[in-house]
Amino acid sequence: MPRAGVQPMRRKALIAAAIDAIHAHGMAQVTMGEIARRAGVSPALAHHYFGGKDQLLLATMRHLLTELGDGIQARLALAAGPEERISAIIRGNFAACQFRPAVISAWLAFYVQAQTDPEARRLLRVYTKRLESNLVHALASLTTRERSIEIAETTAALIDGLWIRQSLADGGADPEKAVAAVEDSVRRALGRARS
């Protein structure tokens, strides 16, 4: 294998190992040594690629945000109209790959880190702005621009809140229930906007 291909593979393996290690031990307890062991590399190499645990969490979140965005874009490509686009955005946020227990642990660790880490907070803002922008675009032909922004902000907050609630639910997540609740909220908001 060419040497140029090794670094991306190792970085990807370290990100996957970080997701599993955070789930197994929690962000506060996990060490770079544990993550490196799970990835099959030396701790020195893990530090070389990421610098430290916080930087690895940021890289992990960039990876998860990319997966989330790619999944939503794939759904949007199949959507025929504005209602289907709204549903595609909502369903993308509750996709099965986002509800794996290890991924849930990584997301929750990211939310906690965003409270004190400016770069994590920036990434969270990028995610929020992208979500709201996609929703505004999908809502634009159904109501006014101002109302689209209001509905998008409420919908994004509802998605985040229900995602956290579902991810922590006893007996496991029920993404379909969450999707139905968010879609119902959007329908009601649009109904009020049209009357």
Concatenate the DSSP letters of all residues of 37-66 into one string.
Answer: HHHTS-HHHHHHHHSSHHHHHHHHHHHHHH
- 21 burial class (0-12, 13-18, 19+ CB within 10 angstroms)? buried
Does 128 have pLDDT greater than 60? yes
Answer whether residue 34 is part of any domain.
Answer: no
Answer whether residue 66 is part of any domain.
Answer: yes
One-letter amino acid of 23: H
35: which residues sit within 8 A by CB, 6+ positions away?
Answer: 14, 17, 18, 21, 46, 53, 56
4 pLDDT tier (thresholds 50, 70, 90): low
Domain with 77, as residue range(s), is 53-194
CA distance 195 to 184: 17
194 pLDDT tier (thresholds 50, 70, 90): low
Residue labelled with tokens 């610098």 = 51
Average pLDDT over residues 148-163: 96
- Total domains, the chain: 1
Identify the pLDDT of residue 3: 55
Answer whether residue 85 is part of any domain.
Answer: yes
Average pLDDT over residues 14-35: 94
CATH number at residue 165: 1.10.357.10
Answer whether residue 38 is part of any domain.
Answer: no
Answer whether residue 31 is part of any domain.
Answer: no
Does 67 have pLDDT greater than 60? yes
| pLDDT: which is higher, 7 or 35 | 35
101 pLDDT tier (thresholds 50, 70, 90): confident
167 pLDDT tier (thresholds 50, 70, 90): confident
CA distance 35 to 90: 32
CA distance 194 to 46: 55
> In the structure encoding, which two tokens stand for residue 61, read together?
């979140």
